[in-house]
Amino acid sequence: QVNLLQSGAALVKPGASVKLSCKASGYTFTDYYIHWVKQSHGKSLEWIGYINPNSGYTNYNEKFKSKATLTVDKSTNTAYMELSRLTSEDSATYYCTRGLGAWSFFDYWGQGVMVTVSS
C-alpha cells in the first residue's frame, strides 16, 4: 500500500533552518511527483512546490521560492524539503503528497509534520 512517511515534529530557533523528510513506499517512487503543502494552524492550505523525483526538476510557488528547497534521494525513495531563515510565520504543519505530474491532484498524503519556530 502507498505510504508517505514524514519525519517527526521539529522545534527550531528563529533564523535557523530545518530539513523535513518524506519517505515513499508501496509504489514506484519515480512515477509520481512529490508536492509539498503548508497548513498554518487553523487555516487553509498553501501549495509550496513540487519535485520530479526522476529528473530532480523543481517548481516553486513564488511565495516560497526563497524559503523552501526541494530535493530527493532516489536510492532511499525519500524527498526532502529544507526551510531556511525561519520565522514565526513558518510555524505550521507541512505535508508531502504525491501527484501524477506537475499539474495534478494529490491522492496520497504524508501524515504531516509540525514545525514550531520559537526561541
Partner 1 sequence: DIQMTQSPSLLSASVGDRVTINCKASQNINKYLNWYQQKLGEAPKLLIYNTNNLQTGIPSRFSGSGSGTDYTLTISSLQPEDFGTYFCFQHNSWPLTFGSGTKLEIK
- The residue ranges that bind partner 1 (CB under 8 A) are 35, 44-47, 59, 61-63, 95, 97, 99, 103-107, 109-112
Alpha carbon distance 110, 118 (integer Å) = 24
Least spacing, CB of residue 23 vs partner 1, in Å? 15
10 residue type, one letter: A
User: CB under 8 Å to 95, separation ≥6 — which residues?
Assistant: 6, 36, 37, 38, 39, 109, 110, 112, 113
Of 15 and 26, the one with the shorter C-beta distance to partner 1 is 26
Of 11 and 45, the one with the shorter C-beta distance to partner 1 is 45
Least spacing, CB of residue 119 vs partner 1, in Å? 26
* Residue 62 phi, psi dihedral angles, 5° rounding: -50, -35
Q: Is 8 exposed, middle or buried (0-12, 13-18, 19+ CB in 10 A)?
A: exposed
Least spacing, CB of residue 75 vs partner 1, in Å? 26
DSSP 62: G
Of 44 and 119, the one with the shorter C-beta distance to partner 1 is 44
Least spacing, CB of residue 39 vs partner 1, in Å? 9
Of 5 and 16, the one with the shorter C-beta distance to partner 1 is 5
Radius of gyration of the chain (CA): 13
